[in-house]
Structure 1
Amino acid sequence: MPRFRALFTLFRLQAWWLVLALIWMPFAHATPLRVISLAPHATELAYAAGLGPNMVAASAYSDYPQPAQSLERVANYRGVKLERIIALQPDLILAWRGGNPPKPLEALAELGFTIRYLNPNTLSDISQFIRELGDYSESPDIATRNANAFDQKLAQLNAQYRDAEPVPYFYLLSDTPLMTASNRAWPSQLFRLCGGKNIFADSAAAYPQVNMEQVITRTPKVLFHTGEQPPDSWDSMADLLPNTTHQFTWPLNPDWLTRATPRALNAAEQICTALDKVRQAQ
């Protein structure tokens, strides 16, 4: 009998704990996680991870997806609004090491704010960050779905262009001064994915300043730019390149090309299409 009473008492305690847990559950998420992003690519990654409903503020130029356009702006290329960020009391701050000034972020960390740095170095890092941010989301299945879709698309492009004939290219980052991106810079990964051969791959700088003569002597077969129209100087450049014609001057979406987000593979598809046309014309 004593043993029976002990078991009965234990059962009642377990039952009470279950009741309390069920009562508490609706209140556990009564205050949703508050998230602030300090870089456009971090904003996109947050939404891809299912954190859209949790976003309370973002950086300037955080324009994708569309709901991000209505978020309060608390950062730009000049710095961050430290006092405003503190007032918003975020549970999670998504930052960009190298793109955000370190001192305000150090101050936020000292105040106890949680800061997650998002600095993708490779294309595969994109899906990894989405999955990691999904751990903060109330809908982690969104992160899993988007990360898997990205990985599948990346694997498909890798398989399709792994043995593609290399095509020398020049990417115009800036017209005045004339600047490009070497293999040390983020965009080069997208060109390499499609079989592009960077004519300034060996530059020591990530974004070197070059001149027209250097471009011409390295004879690219395709020219890329991110403006709506190529600069006037490109007409004379194309005329001096025997293997390049005006039809092989291609515009690229700058946001797709420069942001480490799932949309980067949209830029890759643009590049792959251009390089395929060059290969077909040879």
Structure 2
Amino acid sequence: MTAPIVVAGGSRAALRRNFRRGVWRVLRRKPSRMLGVVILIGFAFMGAVGPLLYPERLPRDDDALYAPPSWEHPFGTDFEGTDVLALVVTGSRYVLMTALVTALITVVLGTAIGLFAGFRRGRWDSVLMRITDMKLTIPALPLLLVLSTVWKFESAVEMGLVLGLLGWGGVARAVRAQSLSLRERGFVEAARGLGLPTTHIIGRELLPSMAPFIAMNMLIAVTGAVYAQVGLFFLGVLPFEANNWGVMLNLSVFGGGALTSTAALPYMMAPLLAILLLTLGIVLVVDAMDEIFNPRLREE
């Protein structure tokens, strides 16, 4: 009685080993993809550990306001004499945590609604898609303007929760389209013929087949969340209750005149370079994932 279990377990272990080897081959084939992985690991480390390397209140030097880049201050200082690199590192936690929470809520909620609507179709599909359509018509910026009058968004989780609840509609629509295609495949028909419950078919048959699509949407959602929150803080829509890259951009442009004076230019360029580097890492990893999960794109 134990032999089939051992064989099945051995088969799953072999599949996992083969998958890891395939991932390593795809990453190694193009050094740029390995660079993307290194960049994302670096940002994850910076967001988790970086702020612990600095005191809670960053030191200021009144004699070095808008100091130019140097060995001591690689990106110069801001209008208070605070090291710009320290501001980028300490502000990364809010930005990255918000992006992660946003991506999780966006993907989980959008995937759940899209899968269920696409698989069940009929009345459930109509109701869920009408809710999705109504959500897509809600303008996010005016809603955030109203919320900012009563909500300070001091916590990255709060910010991520709001952005996630405002951003799941597109994922739900895309996942529904994918599930409508997959539900007609032979393996799903076989599962329905065996009388397996809907939760089993969705969780064990449809969801694994859509894992690559969902994973790539999650990375794309991270990028969108970074742009959204940084843009809102830059425009001054949200109060400056926490240090982050958007606040740095706002203060450098509107307070330091970085667009007209070179003194505050490093203060503006530092968060822009961080955003650009993070986006580059995500793009390179998504390119690798596209080949990992799509056999037709794999090079022999």
Select the structure that is richer in helix: 2
Higher RCO (C-alpha 8 Å, min separation 6): 2
> Larger Rg: 1 or 2?
1
> Could you tell me the TM-score, scaled by structure 2's length?
0.22
TM-score, normalised by the number of residues in structure 1: 0.23
